[in-house]
Amino acid sequence: MRFARLKNWIDSHYENPRGIVGTYIGEKMVRQHRVEVDWTIDQLWIQSNARVLDLGCGAGDAIAQMLHRVDSVHVTGLDRSKTVVRSALKRNRAAVQTGRAEIVEADLRRLPFPDAQFDRVFSIHTLYFWEDVNAVLAEIERVLVPGGSFVITYCDGKGDITWDGIVSIVREQFIPAASSLGLIDVIETRGPDSRDYHTVAVSGRKAV
């Protein structure tokens, strides 16, 4: 029983990293998720001078990789965890100082940005924790420019196991909600396996 409580406490830091343990787990996720980060950036097809929003940016590795790969991009990272926001700011300090990056603490359901602010919105390994899929998607639709696109990357299984719960969220909640909001070209794309986990992205765009 004591071990189960400890495991649940540690697992809770993957959803909302806190304190020293949260800082460690944030850096652990940087090491574990590089395959998904690189693949997601490829799926975004970032153009020159694009403004990109990373929802649930964690310790800021995807921000750093994107800034390294695309000279003219501006990236905003958002996370609800004070702990990993500090890590992301530290990792991307130079870009923040020069105005190429911004990192903020906020809730995915209430994004602190004006309408039509971003050309691309992406998120990696946060979909499992969305308490209100409709609300988050409505905010993504709101902050995207007309014609802007989104990529939401997640895993739907490991090895021979399929996680029916996340598959159900995508097909019974996410895709219908996206359609009702007027988002178009919504598709699921299979990505590379990472540590035997099955990488998938659901993507789409805002109509012009």
The DSSP result for the chain, as a single string, is -HHHHHHHHHHHHHHS--HHHHHHHHHHHHHH-HHHHHHHHHHH-PPTT-EEEEET-TTSHHHHHHHHH-TT-EEEEEES-HHHHHHHHHHTHHHHHHTSEEEEE--TTS--S-SS-EEEEEEES-GGG-S-HHHHHHHHHHHEEEEEEEEEEEEEEETTEE-HHHHHIIIIIIHHHHHHTTEEEEEEEE---BTTEEEEEEEEEE--
pTM above 0.95, yes or no: no
CATH architecture of 2-206: 3-Layer(aba) Sandwich (3.40)
- State pLDDT tens for residues 154-185: 999 999 999 999 999 999 999 999 999 999 99
Would you kindly state where each structural domain of the chain is located, as residue ranges?
Answer: 2-206
Q: How confident is the model at residue 20 (pLDDT cuts 50, 70, 90)?
A: low
